[in-house]
Structure 1
Amino acid sequence: MTETGRVVRVVDGDTYDVLAGGITHRVRLLGVDAPERDQPFGKQAADSVARLLQPAQLVLLTRHGVDLYGRELGAVRLLVAGKPALALDSLLVVRGWAWAWDPKHKVAGRAAQQASALEKRRGLWKCGAVGVLTPQQWRRFNYKNKRRYGVGCTR
């Protein structure tokens, strides 16, 4: 089911509170994995999304079940007058603020979007692919390792 709503809070780069149908839904964006807030580039990814999703920005929300943390899994598309709805997951990958996550290769061009962001050194790829940790790797680290690797790229 697809419904119109507004993002009322950006939790992190790939998790949002969306008000749709009078209900606030905690939505985990499908198709991407953005850095955690305490991970290098995590705050930048979240801020980038927050700038896109100003309070008046309408979105289309399509929900696809619930994850292990009770968040609704879904797709969010930006509504811009006179233009086709823009998929937020693709936009994050193209701008370099999230990893493409498409294990079954259902989204045409998703790997190419990430390769382009890496080649152009956008977002989390600004220093190339060496030393970039995925959120899954980051979550496995203890406090000491997070302090050691938490600096990120300094260029």
Structure 2
Amino acid sequence: MSEIEQEQAQRAESLNNAVRGTMEEFSTKPQPINSNRRHPRNESSEIDDARDALSEAILETARWRLEKAEQFPNEPRNTPAAELLKRIAASVIDVPDDLMRGYSEAWHDEMASQTSETQSVLLRDIGFRSASDTATTLVEHLMEHVDDARSDRARR
């Protein structure tokens, strides 16, 4: 085995070990945000449900990124993207209520399908093409896309 092949094998083994350790953290379904960590200004169960759903979607994407890291060990962005997604999920509690209210409404109107598709794309882009590093930024970007789609629809 050449030096380059040995180095690649060592890198792959190191990455696999890191991924396995991180995958254990995601081995169970994410739990809803702990009720004693709820946003202090938040009295609405609808907003709480939206926070839980957003957090779960972000963590699902983090798990998917870790699976991609195992599948493609030479792609160095997957594991850091999963770690970033975990940090973003932890920041869902900090998203302002008014922004979460708009997020929740986007899932319950004629734009729900567009919202789902756009959120999926934005989550997959984190760590690759996206500048989102907090849940607030993520929801702001999502709502910009949804608002643009609503405007386009209204013009038709």
Question: Shared topology, TM-score over 0.5?
Answer: no
Higher helix share: 2
TM-score by length of 2: 0.31
Between Structure 1 and Structure 2, whose CA radius of gyration is higher? 2
Higher strand share: 1
